[in-house]
Structure 1
Amino acid sequence: MIHADALASLPVRTVLPGLSAALDGHGAAVLCAPPGTGKTTLVPLALAGLTGDDASARRRVVVAEPRRIAARAAARRMAWLLGEQVGESVGFTVRGERRAGPSTLVEVVTTGVLLQRLQRDPELAGVDLVVLDECHERHLDADTAAAFLLDVRAALRPGLRLLAASATTDAEGWAKLLGGAPVVMAEGVSHPVEVVWAPPAGPVRPPHGMRVDPALLEHVAAVVRRALGERSGDVLCFLPGVGEIARVAGLLGGLAGVEVLQVHGRAPAAVQDAVLAGGPGRRVVLATSVAESSLTVPGVRVVVDAGLAREPRTDHARGLSALTTVRASRAAARQRAGRAGREAPGTVYRCWAEGEDARLPRFPAPEITVADLTAFALQAACWGDPGAASLALLDPPPAGALAAARAVLEATGAVERDGRPTERGRRMARLGVHPRLARALLDGAPELGTRRAAELVALLSEEPPREYGDDLAEVWRRARRGGDGYAARWRAEVRRLAGAVPQEPDPGALTDDAAAGLIAALAFPERVARARNESAFLMVSGTGAVLGEGSRLRSAPWLAVAVADRPVSAASARVRLGAVIDERTALEAAGAFLAEDEEVHWSTERRDVVARSVRRLGAVELSARALPAPDPRLVRAALLTGLREEGLGLLRWTPEAVSLRQRLAFLHRELGEPWPEVTDAALLERAEEWLGWEPERVSRRAGLERLDAGKALERLLPWATGEAARLAELAPERVEVPSGSRIRLDYSGEQPVLAVKLQELFGLGETPRIADGRVPLLVHLLSPAGRPAAVTADLASFWRDGYRAVRAELRGRYPRHPWPEDPTAAVPTRRTNARR
């Protein structure tokens, strides 16, 4: 019997005429309806003609939900409203489970299932209307399905109607995407929701990767206890992931008369159903974002929001994908708060400060901008648009991420070089798992038999609970004998996968451990890793990998890494799930990375050129032998690298070479071009030009050490202009003083220095100058013992003003040396007074 009163109480009924008119007139529409209005339940029933008596007005409606739990719950609620069982007028299809029949008019499916149907039957024969529910969440499958449906409307079925529905969405953006579709706004439930700001009292570290500060979780648990004391009704608490739910559940242990339930994507269907069915006592429901939308949890009057969410992130260079914890968007916060007001006035406790609210992102990051795009790229290729250039998407796929996805598809044989799908690629797309896992299933079945390959691929399609451990083979054995919700879903997926590929017998050649390693290596060849030591490995991709304490995999010589994540600040990835393999399996699975190259480089450890022929599996070195005659160009490049790393000290710098460099530096500083710059950076930049080595004579560090840097520097002199001939004139190595001595100049400082005994300059009235008379020498006047007596750049001033004091101080100490009263008229000498 139809529940007419319940249908009549849903506020969205007031906009149904306008919605129908919008769809009739335009063929597409955007529906914005707050939580609790009946957007997910009444609208599909009404559009299918199931709420009226006119059978001729009935249409077949497909409703696409982002999650399995939401799809099942929506179908059950609609069937209840009609007074029927699921599978009659209303049914659902999710991966591994279908409850629908010939009389089904409203079928709720996941967006992944919808994509599979569109690939098999682009016209969606028999379907009159598709509803994309909760489109604000911007899941990649939903965005892709919308793009495909718009193609179908444009090219195949203009009469197919399309409705984008959400409680909080970018209505303007979706309306534009749907070709200027009308936007229908529904009023929300009149139940008010009071906001209570409940930030932690002490400092809390921001989320980092998958890590959430335990202090925040303790605070969330305290807020739940506070809410139970201050408000009536059940409490729905939003947390980012399964681990945080388990932690808070532990902190809430011992609540008298309160049942604590955990809801997430991995929870058994029976637990999910129990939560959605309500209960007689008071409950605390700890949930991930699966409870944000398309669900009414009966009895909830209070929401506690931790303010966090999980989003995918992909390191395309290393082939690592992982979830990361982020601040929830304002749109998500509104959705969560709305759960408290679905049935009566409610309260939301937000575990952050009111001042932080405006700084939250407006909407969650579209998955297409942050996720691994391999599956999307294969879907687009099979759709006939390998580059996704003509797909109508709210956000275009990042070029780098799409290129990385195409590279994976080419390596697995799913697409041709031009991006068009192969027949193998089409088979992979139809399997409904990530293309990497599809490759492992297709290539692993002949080696292991279809059943065993399907069992292992099913393990990787939904990551097992962490308590199963990190050894894939042991996880496999545990799933086989397990009786928990994960094991039940795993068995259903095994049946689906095994039925989707040709049946291959089990040759019986591989043990469970070897079979697990083969499948993991086939799925993730760039994560094949070789041991560095007991717990550290190097993956083919070049990324390090480490195992946790106590892992059974620590003694493995080779490892196939199935699940890993790399924290932002970590040098190596953490292995979450892997399997032991041998070198033969590594080469078989990751053979595309096998290469043998001539490697000539500068070794920092050896401080010399190393020339080898190296056989590598990606970044993993398998073997090496010395190269007797390496390519001279590579040797030269390696030596240049050594010079840059070690510095010019690798060359032989005689005193003459050092002097020449200092003189050239002086001339460049004072005169500029054409005199060359001879700083370390400048010389290293022009090393090939001035060193002029012969590769057959200089092939190792020892050859560099034999090079005379001074002779080499002469190549930089401005020979072409003729200025090189003036080197001795402009920057003389020595100058002759009045005594006849030729004194070496010191160019090591900012001003050239002439260090000479004072008596040898008698009679010289002016300071000597160089560089065409531009630069006076800095004269260090030495005592007879060779110690500085005075320093001057103005010799005339010294004879006039400073000499008298020096004479008075030194004549008594050195009486055998001349100390005339007028040094400008005295005879210069290198000797003492006349001999007796």
Structure 2
Amino acid sequence: MIRYDALDALPVRGALPALHDALEGHGTAVLVAPPGTGKTTLVPLALAGLLGEGPARHVVVAEPRRIAARAAARRMAWLLGEKPGGSVGYTVRGERVVGRHARVEVVTTGVLLQRLQRDQELTGVDVVMLDECHERHLDADTTAAFLWDVRQALRPELRLVAASATTDAEGWARLLGDAPVVEAQGVSYPVEVVWAPPARPVRPPHGMRVDPALLSHVASVVGRALAERDGDVLCFLPGVGEIARVAGQLTGIGDVDVLQVHGRAPAAVQDAVLAPGARRRVVLATAVAESSLTVPGVRVVVDAGLAREPRVDHARGLSALTTVRASRAAARQRAGRAGREAPGAVYRCWAEAEDARLPRFPAPEIKVADLTAFALQAACWGDPDASGLALLDPPPGGAMAAARSVLTAVGAVDRAGRATERGARLARLGLHPRLGRALLDARGTATGARGSSRPQVSGTRMDTGVGAADAPDARVPGEDAPDDRGSGTRALGSRPSDAAGPGAGDPAVVAEVVALLSEEPPREYGDDLVAALRTARRGTDAYGARWRTEVRRLRAAGQGSGSGVGREVTDDGVAGLVTALAFPERVARKDGGSYLMVSGTRAELPEASALRGAPWIAVAVADRPVGKGHARVRLGAVVDEATARLAAGALLEETDEIHWADGDVVARRVERLGAVELTARPLTGADPSLVRNALLEGLRREGFGLLRWPADAAVLRQRLAFLRLRLGEPWPDVSDDALHARVDEWLEPELSRARRRADLARIDAGQALARLLPWASGEAARLDELAPERITVPSGSRVRIDYDDPAQPVLAVKLQEMFGLHRSPEVAGVPLLVHLLSPAGRPAAVTADLASFWKDGYFGVRAELRGRYPKHPWPEDPATAEPTRHTRARLAK
């Protein structure tokens, strides 16, 4: 029996006429409805005609999370007085409860995406409702784009509804062809905002890390809320680890049940949260409780203000979820949970002044996540670069290029970006393409030929080659976020060849390992993939149950991918093989105290890791700790060199390396696997041109001091630098950069005959440098005139000019030798800076104006020095005195 009393109480009912009109007149609509109005439950029933109003239709509702999809279906079935599987059913990853006469089916966006690839017309579906579209998950954005394509090209009668409580309504309306925006007015119970920032500053989140001080503060705020308010408390935290930590701090808090809700929670716990409790409850939840779920009895929300979003660290080739500040839209959604049934309160664990600085909406996944799976979906759809898709935000070009590189390497797309037959199969697996590659290839690694070319399927949207069975969504179940652990920043290994390899993996074990990688196991399983596999096999926790379900699915999905004959390997071998095939650029060899991945990224293992000491490992999951330059391995497996060579074969190369190292030319033949050096041996008879390049590299790194610089050579360079600065052309630029640029003009043929550092040391730099003088114009003959090496001073001495500073040449001369000279000497029109020396050769004065010095400065110098040097002349009038380089006694003779 239909529960009309409950249906009539849902405020969204008042918006149904406008929604019906929008769909009848335009075919698309954007529904904006506050939390608790019944948007997720009443609207699909009404659109399907299950409430006795309107024609009978088949409605598909797409939810971003499995827990929300199951809960929405159960709630709608309850409203109809039925059980799921009757008029309302649901399909999520690994679970399908849909009866023959179902009129409403709730699915995850990943499931709908796979269904669209199989049946682009969505045969039999009349209305598709995209719920919680504000969350901007990549699957949801992709699904919306594909649906708009279907409506435009194939089924103009297909009705589309984008629904959310807080969304960019104008943007979605534009995307759906200027769709009408229908707003539902909810019964708005007031929610009091209580600002509850920590008393002392806490460190901002970094990677997956959250300051324990903040979590302790959140636990204390929960205790405060329990003391100050009535009703259940719903506390939002970013992830499973933070939930467990806060739950531990709430142990023994009183007559209160503490429940933990997240994608990994057992179904029984999830069901218990969605039903009224006998005692007061504290529900610790991730973002799964933000939308689509009504937790009965909640009057208080405690918001830690954090969220998890995918990010790609292109510099290190790592991808993972990262902790960020929650957006204002998310904060409104969370606060709304406190006012669904009665007035409530939200305790926000940040300062009111910080609120305005929060981002308005969550970052769209398409802007920040790994796009490999998206690029494969687009290629299978017939739009490899996604340029023709209706997306709120276009995919970044760099991320798409990286994704295409990965897909090309695994044979999923051809060089034009079109999906191959293999790519279509990978898309059907409901896995990230990396894991799909591992599932298909690990079973038959040592069996049969594995050429890199693939039959091509049509690039049109009417013929993608996608198979006939639904594949569950490829979303990571643990946090309901994309499985984006691959980077795509370096080319992957080619598919295995028919050469002898490490052996074929047992198909059953391959499926087990892939299932383990598709949903990262709990931290307590450890960082050793094999140990985690064995724990999952004997585990009775919720993760183990989901893992076994996924294993069964993958065993069926991967059938026919390989014969599995030949030398099968152990669990250890399969775990390493699968991980290496999925993440070949993360195969790593021990190098000192850390591991060097073939991508060039360094990674470290915890002190207690069972993987420590292994010569080779394959890294499945890694992150970057705060303040560390290296990655930290969180999950990996031991491999041998043969597996490393097999998986990352596209990066295997043997090259002759001739370069400058350790102060000399090094010539050797090197075999490398990406950044990892495998073997090296001395190289004889090296290519002279490569040796020359190595010598030039040495000159660039260590400077032209590697050449022989007699005193006159160094002076020549200084004189030329002075003339270049003073007169410009045709005098040559002799700076290091300029000399490197013209090395062919001045350092040949000496350089071409050199083979090592010692040969450079025999090259006379002065003789070589003289080749740059402007001989052709005749100006070279004026070198000694314009920039003489020495100048004759009044005493008759020929004194060297110091051109060390080309802007101001210096003449250092004894003071007595300059008597009688009224004007400072010049070179090329530049007055020399005269350093007047004492009889002992020490600087007594510096001047560029001798006349002024004789008039003013000389007498101070004379008073200071004539007592110290009485044998030398110190005349009263230096301007008219006889210059000399001798003492008084010599002068008397």
Question: Aligned pair in 2 of structure 1 residues 472, 760: CA closer, same or farther (>3 Å)?
Answer: closer
Give the distance between the partners of 1:807 and 1:398, measured in 2 at CA. 76
Residue in structure 2 matched with residue 12 of structure 1 by the alignment: 12
Give the distance between the partners of 1:629 and 1:694, measured in 2 at CA. 19
Deviations along 1:593-642, one digit per CA (max 9) or x if unpaired, are: 11112222222xx1222222211111111111222233444333333333
Do the aligned residues in 1 keep the contact of 2:221 with 2:347 (CA within 8 Å)? yes
Deviations along 1:773-810, one digit per CA (max 9) or x if unpaired, are: 54246162553x55556655445566667777877887
Give the distance between the partners of 1:213 and 1:463, measured in 2 at CA. 22
Residue in structure 1 matched with residue 488 of structure 2 by the alignment: none
Residue in structure 2 matched with residue 524 of structure 1 by the alignment: 583
Please state how far the C-alpha of 1:432 moved relative to its aligned partner. 0.5
Please state how far the C-alpha of 1:156 moved relative to its aligned partner. 1.0
Question: Aligned pair in 2 of structure 1 residues 667, 477: CA closer, same or farther (>3 Å)?
Answer: same
Do the aligned residues in 2 keep the contact of 1:29 with 1:164 (CA within 8 Å)? yes
Residue in structure 2 matched with residue 660 of structure 1 by the alignment: 716
Of residues 50, 63, 76, the one that matches 2:61 is: 63
Residue in structure 2 matched with residue 577 of structure 1 by the alignment: 635
Question: Aligned pair in 2 of structure 1 residues 509, 802: CA closer, same or farther (>3 Å)?
Answer: closer
Do the aligned residues in 1 keep the contact of 2:831 with 2:848 (CA within 8 Å)? no
Equivalent runs, 1:77-226 vs 2, <5 Å: 77-226=75-224
Please state how far the C-alpha of 1:647 moved relative to its aligned partner. 3.0
Do the aligned residues in 2 keep the contact of 1:737 with 1:760 (CA within 8 Å)? yes
Segment drifting more, 551-560 vs 715-724:
715-724
Residue in structure 2 matched with residue 365 of structure 1 by the alignment: 363
Gaps of 5+ in 1: none
Residue in structure 2 matched with residue 32 of structure 1 by the alignment: 32
Residue in structure 1 matched with residue 269 of structure 2 by the alignment: 271
Please state how far the C-alpha of 1:100 moved relative to its aligned partner. 0.6
Residue in structure 1 matched with residue 499 of structure 2 by the alignment: none
Residue in structure 2 matched with residue 597 of structure 1 by the alignment: 655
Segment drifting more, 564-573 vs 619-628:
564-573
Do the aligned residues in 2 keep the contact of 1:520 with 1:562 (CA within 8 Å)? yes
Question: Aligned pair in 2 of structure 1 residues 778, 39: CA closer, same or farther (>3 Å)?
Answer: same
Give the distance between the partners of 1:213 and 1:169, measured in 2 at CA. 30
Question: Aligned pair in 2 of structure 1 residues 806, 176: CA closer, same or farther (>3 Å)?
Answer: closer
Deviations along 1:255-300, one digit per CA (max 9) or x if unpaired, are: 1110100001111111111111221100000000000000001111
Question: Aligned pair in 2 of structure 1 residues 801, 432: CA closer, same or farther (>3 Å)?
Answer: closer
Q: Which amino acid aligns with 2:586?
A: R
Equivalent runs, 1:308-327 vs 2, <5 Å: 308-316=306-314, 318-327=316-325
Segment drifting more, 261-270 vs 814-823:
814-823
Q: Which amino acid aligns with 2:641?
A: E
Segment drifting more, 440-449 vs 469-478:
440-449
Give the distance between the partners of 1:541 and 1:169, measured in 2 at CA. 39
Segment drifting more, 284-293 vs 617-626:
617-626
Tell me the number of residue pairs that the alignment of Structure 1 and Structure 2 aligns: 829
Of residues 515, 521, 543, the one that matches 1:486 is: 543
Of residues 766, 770, 781, the one that matches 2:826 is: 770
Question: Aligned pair in 2 of structure 1 residues 182, 772: CA closer, same or farther (>3 Å)?
Answer: closer
Equivalent runs, 1:368-387 vs 2, <5 Å: 368-387=366-385
Give the distance between the partners of 2:864 and 2:404, measured in 1 at CA. 87
Q: Which amino acid aligns with 2:789?
A: E
Residue in structure 1 matched with residue 487 of structure 2 by the alignment: none
Do the aligned residues in 2 keep the contact of 1:258 with 1:283 (CA within 8 Å)? yes
Please state how far the C-alpha of 1:674 moved relative to its aligned partner. 3.4
Do the aligned residues in 1 keep the contact of 2:46 with 2:53 (CA within 8 Å)? no
Deviations along 1:333-372, one digit per CA (max 9) or x if unpaired, are: 0100111111111111111111111111110000011011
Q: Which amino acid aligns with 1:210?
A: M
Equivalent runs, 1:500-511 vs 2, <5 Å: 500-503=557-560, 504-505=563-564, 509-511=568-570
Residue in structure 1 matched with residue 606 of structure 2 by the alignment: 548
Q: Are positions 1:616 and 2:616 aligned together?
A: no
Select the structure with the greater relative contact order (CA < 8 A; seq sep ≥ 6): 2
Question: Aligned pair in 2 of structure 1 residues 16, 729: CA closer, same or farther (>3 Å)?
Answer: same
Deviations along 1:317-340, one digit per CA (max 9) or x if unpaired, are: 543111111110010001001111
Q: Are positions 1:563 and 2:629 aligned together?
A: no
Q: Which amino acid aligns with 1:487?
A: G
Q: Which amino acid aligns with 1:577?
A: L
Instruction: Please give the secondary structure, in 2, of the residue aligned with 1:499.
Output: helix
Report the TM-score, using the length of structure 1 for normalisation: 0.94
Instruction: Please give the secondary structure, in 1, of the residue aligned with 2:264.
Output: coil
Instruction: Please give the secondary structure, in 1, of the residue aligned with 2:128.
Output: strand
Do the aligned residues in 2 keep the contact of 1:409 with 1:435 (CA within 8 Å)? yes
Q: Which amino acid aligns with 2:803?
A: Y
Question: Aligned pair in 2 of structure 1 residues 210, 799: CA closer, same or farther (>3 Å)?
Answer: closer
Gaps of 5+ in 2: 445-503
Give the distance between the partners of 1:465 and 1:805, measured in 2 at CA. 85
Q: Which amino acid aligns with 1:44?
A: P
Segment drifting more, 697-706 vs 199-208:
697-706
Q: Which amino acid aligns with 1:747?
A: Y
Give the distance between the partners of 1:564 and 1:571, measured in 2 at CA. 13
Instruction: Please give the secondary structure, in 1, of the residue aligned with 2:363.
Output: coil
Equivalent runs, 1:742-757 vs 2, <5 Å: 742-748=798-804, 751-757=808-814
Instruction: Please give the secondary structure, in 1, of the residue aligned with 2:329.
Output: helix
Give the distance between the partners of 1:22 and 1:820, measured in 2 at CA. 110
Deviations along 1:357-402, one digit per CA (max 9) or x if unpaired, are: 1111110000011011011111111111111110100100000001
Residue in structure 2 matched with residue 462 of structure 1 by the alignment: 519
Do the aligned residues in 2 keep the contact of 1:667 with 1:771 (CA within 8 Å)? no
Give the distance between the partners of 1:444 and 1:655, measured in 2 at CA. 68
Deviations along 1:91-116, one digit per CA (max 9) or x if unpaired, are: 00001000011111100000000011
Q: Are positions 1:42 and 2:42 aligned together?
A: yes
Question: Aligned pair in 2 of structure 1 residues 133, 710: CA closer, same or farther (>3 Å)?
Answer: same
Do the aligned residues in 2 keep the contact of 1:198 with 1:349 (CA within 8 Å)? yes
Instruction: Please give the secondary structure, in 1, of the residue aligned with 2:379.
Output: helix
Give the distance between the partners of 2:631 and 2:18, measured in 1 at CA. 54
Instruction: Please give the secondary structure, in 2, of the residue aligned with 1:448.
Output: coil
Question: Aligned pair in 2 of structure 1 residues 830, 713: CA closer, same or farther (>3 Å)?
Answer: farther
Do the aligned residues in 1 keep the contact of 2:121 with 2:154 (CA within 8 Å)? yes
Do the aligned residues in 1 keep the contact of 2:515 with 2:547 (CA within 8 Å)? yes
Please state how far the C-alpha of 1:697 moved relative to its aligned partner. 2.1
